[in-house]
Amino acid sequence: MSHADMNNCSGFNKVAAAFSWNSPKKAINPYLDPAEVAPVSALSNLITLYATDNEQEQLRREALSDQVWERYFFNESRDPVQREMEQDKLISRAKMAHEQQRFNPDMVILADVNAQPSHISKPLMQRIEYFSSLGRPKAYSRYLRETIKPCLERLEHVRDSQLSASFRFMASHEGLDGLLILPEMSQDQVKRLSTLVAAHMSMCLDAACGDLYASDDVKPEEIRKTWEKVAAETLRLDVIPPAFEQLRRKRNRRKPVPYELIPGSLARMLCADWWYRKLWKMRCEWREEQLRAVCLVSKKASPYVSYEAVMHKR
């Protein structure tokens, strides 16, 4: 190679060295991870952020899938092992509570108070906690046995007198089991229950009128018999049907039967608003009786009515 060629080659190498991609590269170490020795650039940072976002999105989807599975597809009722474990826990807790109550009768009274509805248990527990805070164990135990226990016994007698046999029979129908806890219901719950009762009365009317639809010649007495069947269902709920005194059967009836009152009476017994007024009145009366039974309506604290009824009226 001539001297001129060597000069041209050295000049070419100088020009090539001016660009970064023409610079000599380091040897690859086979014992290192390629990701650790990779050069940092804007593109590599963007790829790393994109991969991190994808990983977080995948984790979020997996967590959401687990929540959906646990809520809709997996529960104790579908898993026999989990259900058996829960039952064992409940049994062990019940045994422990039974042992504690056997040696401490006061805990039995407290458990009975906590088992009552909130409108009964909450004010009673406030009084019990007040006596407990006094720091007098004997007076506290005497208050539970001589005051709270008789209150709970009176409450059970009042409930038995409120729920007659016919009332319990009506509550056995589908959707009407809420009648058994009528004093515990709120206004919205009573409205929903009244709708169900009105629907039940409508079904009773349809069943009683099955033969009348096929006949063109229907006598007023047959319509009255249909009314009597619906009125009998109403009486089972301790509610007097409209125009009951005028339409009921009497041995010595002097005036003719006012058949014109039957349509209006049936319309009311099939009306949800009418049932709401009757059931809400019954709920308030029963609730007041229960509050009196547990000494929450006193002459000194709130004469004649409970504090809850006064606040609701206001």
pLDDT per residue over 167-198, tens digit each? 888 888 777 888 989 999 999 999 999 999 99
Overall average pLDDT of the 207-222 stretch: 75
What distance in Å separates the CA atoms of residue 249 and residue 251, rounded to the nearest whole number?
Answer: 7
Greater pLDDT, 149 or 10: 149
Q: What is the percentage of the chain residues whose pLDDT exceeds 90?
A: 22
Q: Tell me the average pLDDT of the chain.
A: 80
Q: Is the pLDDT of residue 308 over 60?
A: yes
Q: Which tokens go with 205?
A: 């009317």
What pLDDT is recorded for position 63? 85
What is the average per-residue pLDDT within 258-272?
91
Residue ranges of alpha helices (H) inside the chain are 3-17, 34-37, 42-68, 80-103, 105-114, 118-133, 137-143, 149-162, 165-171, 187-208, 220-236, 244-247, 262-269, 272-293, 307-313
Report whether 151 contacts 295 (CB < 8 A): yes
Distance CA 235, CA 181 (A): 19
CB neighbours (10 Å) of residue 107?
14
- pLDDT attached to residue 85: 81
pLDDT range class, residue 269, cuts 50, 70, 90 = very high
- Amino acid 268: pLDDT: 93
Q: Residue 276's pLDDT band (boundaries 50, 70, 90)?
A: very high
User: 231-238 long-range CB contacts below 8 Å, 24 or more apart?
Assistant: 231/265, 231/269, 233/170, 233/200, 233/201, 233/204, 234/201, 234/269, 235/166, 236/166, 236/167, 236/169, 236/170, 237/166, 237/167, 237/170, 237/179, 237/197, 237/278, 238/164, 238/166, 238/167, 238/282
Does residue 112 carry a pLDDT above 90? no
Q: Is the entire prediction scored with pTM above 0.75?
A: no
pLDDT at 264: 92
Give 110's contacts (C-beta < 8 A, 6+ positions apart).
128, 144
Taking the C-alpha atoms of residue 289 and residue 182, their distance in angstroms, rounded to an integer, is: 13
In this prediction, residue 47 carries a pLDDT of: 80
**Residue 182 to residue 176: CA distance in whole angstroms:** 10
What integer pLDDT is reported at residue 76 of this predicted model? 55
What radius of gyration, in Å, describes the C-alpha atoms of the chain? 40
What confidence score (pLDDT) does residue 303 get? 58
**Quick one: pLDDT at residue 201?**
92
